[in-house]
A and B are shown apart, each in its own frame.
Chain A
């Protein structure tokens, strides 16, 4: 029987300090008995026999005398078996769907271990999402980490479920496909929206949900994505499945981290976030990928809301430095009625270059994408000129650009929430738009490709 320690020395926010602990180990989980109920926490600092414990549930009702603490000697472990498919867990990985405990095939440390870079398989397989802006311009690749940068009130959730639904339709074998969904600090409606959408698209029995909702303990949010990724890695690397992981909302996650850091009295870097926010986020996002020893994959679509729509805020900023691109949503486009309101210029898929073109999607895809980016960038210049001198004063060419810009937004970016465009359709649509512009303007495209695909008479978009 492990030693029980009575009482605490200090309580500070989600942290408690205990004295007189024999032989503690770093990051081991402790259990705390309080009024007959059990809470858990982990040791985050040791100094001799004093330890600082971060409590995952909240510390409310705790006093310096009413607790009994036991060390478990282990880091946080998640019970795993294939039965987790279709199940719902709370933010620390305990079943909350009333279907009972998991009979574990194994237990795994939720912190995972870094993938050895030499064991990684470089991701190259195109995932067709049926969404033109993504497939053509910010192509999603199996094993990629591609976040959605959103803002309050933008349709990031619709976009995420549309990706899940349509990517699943395009995938070759459904039995190898599953979704791991982790909610951190989102409202119940949001979690419910995802559940309903999964149900409607018939994937619910292939979804594993980890829910830490906005009224659940803040400190638990640190565990939720780790538990979810542990489940994803298990399914991907031990059962060779293709796992799509949705993590939402990473902003709430980072804010939880900030809260704990400030309770610890750590020196903050920008906007009060701890200096290790980058490394901490990386320890989650780097768990996407593929490895040589398995045919499975972990693809991540983290969702975050940019505070004040500011992409330079530390959360989107550090995320963009870690992930393999980003899909940025734009409020002005959304207000114009464009769905999905993907702001294509700041959006990027770093892995697309190796997963598109001849033998992957179509030979013209890379040049076409480059040209659409370049021409749409030019539209922005013309628009700002037009706002100064007036549209009527623009040269005929500039007016063509304005028209191109309008059509690009309403016909290419804009599509139905259930509209599933095959990649061929998307690329042809891109060409019909470019065909509005004079050939000399298309300076990103190889002459041979132009000869083959550029058809100015087909301007009938």
Chain B
């Protein structure tokens, strides 16, 4: 244990505190500030003073109050009890804080991230004489109804098991195994370990991306898929649907574990997730979604330095569960607020700003964060992934600002939210023309083998119809749609079905909120079938108005509501209906 370094407060400017009295503080060390022991981190060491960012309100701090190092870098505690919980930006359980200070957050309250008294039903999975190393799984325990927690050997320990406890009920304070390390010493290992939040956890190797993260959201899964271990950004002005999109993904995506970070956003939104996720059940297991979710809430009115840390706290928790062999998806709402926290601290340090006052290291911090996503083989041989989905809140909704532009360089999915779509209440308001996913090629085989060999072919056709529509709309805007010939009008009609009947998806509709890939495929297939049949009709010189009069286009738009997620056979029936209608029209003509 390092000896503690002590100094005293010299200057205070917002969350930034200048410390004198010792030159031995180390960068990124965790410190206790003031008589109340507020948590802080060293962010600068200069010749005559040390700079600390404080994770709690500094109001009322005096000069000359003590500052003391805790002898370790800013870290989180890892162990069972994280899942289902809600923490602030530096991993303090908000329910404990409520118990201690009521509805309003006080500062200087010390709580443990993990309940140290609670007993868990531990099953040991190692025995005396086994050789183990960092990451080896030595025991498992049911953490929630959905998550089996795997107790792993902490970093830096290699050796053989000297002694284990029998299966049974143990708390986080108990020793489960004794390990004789290669260097000959004996160490006691329990369920809890710590990890510095700014350091990625070690893996054996990165694997290629090959599986989609299935979200049940049609525009994402079909047009703009994200891979397990991938990265996506959701930029959009206020009210365009960033938070809703992230909530939808957190609810329905097929990750094993969700880490949801409310970073500098609304308190009520976190309350809502907490309420909804405790009530909503996971369709596969019938268990509450909260049983696979961790929430980190550092809302806009909570201390700004802790907002900066919340992103790292979240990603470290995600990596910890990935190390157990889980697929983890992390939602960060919003990364712009995190960038602004960086800017605010940087401004208080009087650093030289780059664009719009953001520090020059914005870009490297963003890339460092997104780099922590990936599909990996863990030290213990299991496979897991961390998928990062970050919301971006561009000022004025203008995507040319620094956070959006820098983020774009490091993510491979870009789901651009569009104000005009949101204004007309077309949700999700993801603009299909300006958004992209670079994962199509990586996922080709998976879709072919697991959904249908035509999946990506149909996808390409849908994309091309939408593109054709946007070109035709240029003409329509100038001279109206009357000048178009019927073939072009058909493109517009089919594109409208795709937009309203397929891309638009109502998060509040009981069955439309989540749609399985098989149904997504059937819907695409049906629209393309309708197009083919309608083309045949038109090619017989029958005016498109005759097709329109049958209301077949409007009816097809409503199929998303009319055919349930488990009634796929109805698509075949509907094809017959199309056949009959078209045959009828052709017959009437003759």
Chain A residues within 8 Å of B, Cβ to Cβ: 23-28, 45-49, 75, 111-123, 237, 266-270, 274-276, 278-279, 282-283, 286-287, 289, 291-294, 312-314, 317-318, 320-322, 324-326, 345-346, 348, 350-351, 353, 366, 370, 373-374, 377-378, 384-385, 388-389, 393-395, 440, 443-444, 446-447
Contacts and interface: CB of A to CB of B under 8 A. Distances in A.
Interface stretch (B59-67, B142-150, B199-207, B284-292): B59-67
Contact of A286 (B103, B299, B353, B396): B299
Contacts of B264: 278-279, 282
B113 to A, nearest CB: 15
B103 A384 contact: no
A325 B270 CA distance: 16
Contacts of B557: 443
B348 to A, nearest CB: 9
Contacts of B477: 384-385, 388
Given A120-B271, A373-B424, A27 B238 contact: no
A25 B103 CA distance: 26
B64 A120 contact: no
Given A116-B104, A312-B397, A345-B424, A275 B274 contact: no
Contacts of A282: 264, 299-301
A393 B478 CA distance: 12
30 contacts: A25-B61, A26-B12, A27-B58, A27-B60, A48-B10, A48-B11, A75-B59, A112-B104, A113-B105, A114-B301, A117-B86, A118-B271, A122-B268, A269-B395, A270-B356, A276-B304, A278-B300, A279-B340, A286-B267, A286-B299, A289-B267, A292-B103, A312-B398, A317-B396, A318-B395, A353-B508, A373-B425, A388-B479, A393-B480, A447-B561
Q: Which of B63, B97, B357, B508 has the most CB of A within 10 A?
A: B63
B267 A120 contact: yes
Interface string B492-512: 000000001000000010000
A394 B297 contact: no
Given A24-B63, A47-B18, A115 B297 contact: no
A122 B297 CA distance: 15
A326 B554 CA distance: 33
A118 B106 contact: no
A23 B300 contact: no
A353 B508 CA distance: 9
A26 B61 contact: yes
Given A114-B301, A286-B267, A275 B343 contact: yes
Q: Which 10 A-B pairs have the closest CB atoms?
A: A377-B424, A282-B300, A312-B396, A119-B103, A320-B238, A286-B301, A113-B104, A47-B11, A345-B423, A117-B270
A440 B350 CA distance: 61
Interface string B236-260: 0111000000000000000000000
Nearest to A357: B508
A354 to B, nearest CB: 8
Contact of A119 (B102, B302, B480): B102
Contacts of B94: 116-118
Contact of A115 (B104, B237, B397, B426): B104
Nearest to B13: A45
Contacts of A283: 300-301
Contacts of B97: 116
A257 to B, nearest CB: 14
Contact of B561 (A24, A28, A120, A446): A446
Contact of A28 (B11, B60, B237, B344): B60
B180 interface: no
Contacts of B262: 117
B361 to A, nearest CB: 15
B417 to A, nearest CB: 13
A38 B561 CA distance: 69
Contacts of A345: 423-424
Contacts, number: 215
Nearest to B11: A47
A23 B63 contact: yes
Interface in B382-424: 393, 395-398, 419, 423-424
B268 A275 contact: no
Nearest to A350: B239
Interface string B101-145: 111111000000000000000000000000000000000000000
B67 to A, nearest CB: 14
Nearest to B337: A278
Nearest to B341: A279
B480 A394 contact: yes
Nearest to B500: A443
Given A279-B264, A389-B480, 16 more contacts: A25-B63, A46-B63, A115-B105, A116-B97, A118-B86, A119-B98, A122-B275, A270-B396, A275-B344, A279-B344, A286-B299, A324-B266, A345-B423, A353-B508, A385-B477, A393-B482
Nearest to B423: A345
Contacts of A378: 424
A346 B423 contact: yes
A267 B353 contact: yes
Contacts of B61: 25-26
B105 A116 contact: yes
Nearest to B425: A373
B554 A443 contact: yes
Interface string B78-98: 000000001000000011011
A279 to B, nearest CB: 6
Contacts of A25: 60-63
A262 to B, nearest CB: 13
A322 to B, nearest CB: 6
A120 B262 CA distance: 15
A384 B479 CA distance: 11
Nearest to A292: B103
A384 to B, nearest CB: 7
B347 interface: yes
B457 interface: no
A56 to B, nearest CB: 16
B576 interface: no
Contacts of B300: 278-279, 282-283, 286, 322
Given A119-B98, A321-B393, A269 B357 contact: yes
B103 A116 contact: yes
Contacts of B561: 446-447
Contact of B10 (A47, A276, A286, A388): A47
A46 B101 CA distance: 29
Contacts of A27: 58-60
Contacts of B424: 345, 373-374, 377-378
B558 interface: yes
A322 B297 CA distance: 15
Interface string B423-436: 11110000000000
Nearest to B480: A389
B551 interface: yes
Given A286-B267, A373-B424, A440 B551 contact: yes
A122 B266 CA distance: 12
Contact of A324 (B268, B350, B357): B268
Contacts of A346: 239, 419, 423
Contact of A111 (B14, B59, B64): B59
Interface string B548-570: 00010010011001100000000
B308 to A, nearest CB: 12
Contacts of B11: 45-48
A293 B103 contact: yes
Contacts of A313: 396
B467 interface: no
Contact of B343 (A28, A269, A388): A269
Nearest to A45: B13
Nearest to B420: A377
Nearest to B242: A321
A119 B301 CA distance: 15
A377 B397 CA distance: 20
B272 interface: yes
Contacts of B426: 374
